Amino acid sequence: MGIVNVTPDSFSDGGSYASVDDAVKHGIQMVSDGADLLDVGGESTRPGSDPVSADEELARVVPVIQRLTHELPDTPVSVDTRKAEVARSAMEVGAAIVNDITAGADPDMFQTVRQAQAGMVLMHMKGEPKTMQEDPTYYDVVAEVRGSLGERVEEAVAAGIGMDQLCIDPGLGFGKTLEHNLAILHDIDALHHLEVPVLVGPSRKRFIGALTDAEVDDRLEGTAGVVAWCAARGVDIVRVHDVKEMVRVVRVVDAITRRA
């Protein structure tokens, strides 16, 4: 999954693709580099970020999604949003997936996804982006993340969304310390018990910087290490900025694991 941020303030590439033309060009290049799907987001959810209005988010993502789905008709496009209003408008112009960091907290989100017969990524987050990294605590982070995601899967299914439409994301860096992230990755197999695909988004994140003493634009090798680990353990989707390099990593790991 290639990341197309159309925000001025995302932690890694904020402002780099803020115009529609630049964002679309970037998405097309990602697909050329091997991305299987694209994730378009118009609201930064980095630690400490403030929310934006639905109108602002719509103005950012709808034109980009409309263009991408027209120019890349065979590539699924996801909208990265926690607002049902934004999800609805994005799907009206071609988005096929809703990637929701709140796992459907908006009371209208599940109904919106069900009506559109879209796919949905349910992500785990403890707290809100503004304050989630201040002091996140868990008794057993792996068990708690798995339990929370299992509950959200059940809620989505009860709302009429099929299991085959769902995917889960443990939310690395969203209300989690370095040790929490490492514990989740070490036991990532535990999420397979929920019987839906697993997505992991490690790309350029702060915990990689902490491990490698690297700034945000110098975390390629650290990201590759996490992607390789995830691919070897059956993670279905990795959400990344550096598509060309991560596609190569995954192809090599897949070739090795298929020999097992």
Only one residue has tokens 């941020």, namely 5
| Distance of alpha carbon 171 from alpha carbon 133, whole angstroms | 12
Task: Give Rg (Cα) of the chain.
Answer: 17
Which residues are tagged catalytic? 205, 239
Q: What is the CB-side half-sphere exposure of residue 105 using CA atoms within 13 A? A: 13
Contact call for residues 60 and 6 (beta carbons, < 8 A): yes
Q: Which two tokens stand for residue 248?
A: 């190569």
Tell me how far apart the alpha carbons of residues 105 and 107 are, in angstroms, rounded to a whole number.
Answer: 6
Q: In 3-state terms, what secondary structure has residue 78? A: strand
Q: Give me the long-range contacts of 245-248 (CB less than 8 A, separation at least 24).
A: 245/220, 246/203, 247/33, 247/34, 247/35
Query: Which long-range contacts link 125-130 to residues 24+ away (Cβ below 8 Å)?
Result: 125/101, 125/171, 125/174, 125/175, 126/174, 126/175, 126/176, 127/175, 129/44, 129/45, 129/46, 129/47, 129/48, 129/49, 129/51, 129/101, 129/174, 130/48, 130/49, 130/50, 130/51
Q: Please tell me the total number of residues recorded for the chain in this structure.
A: 260
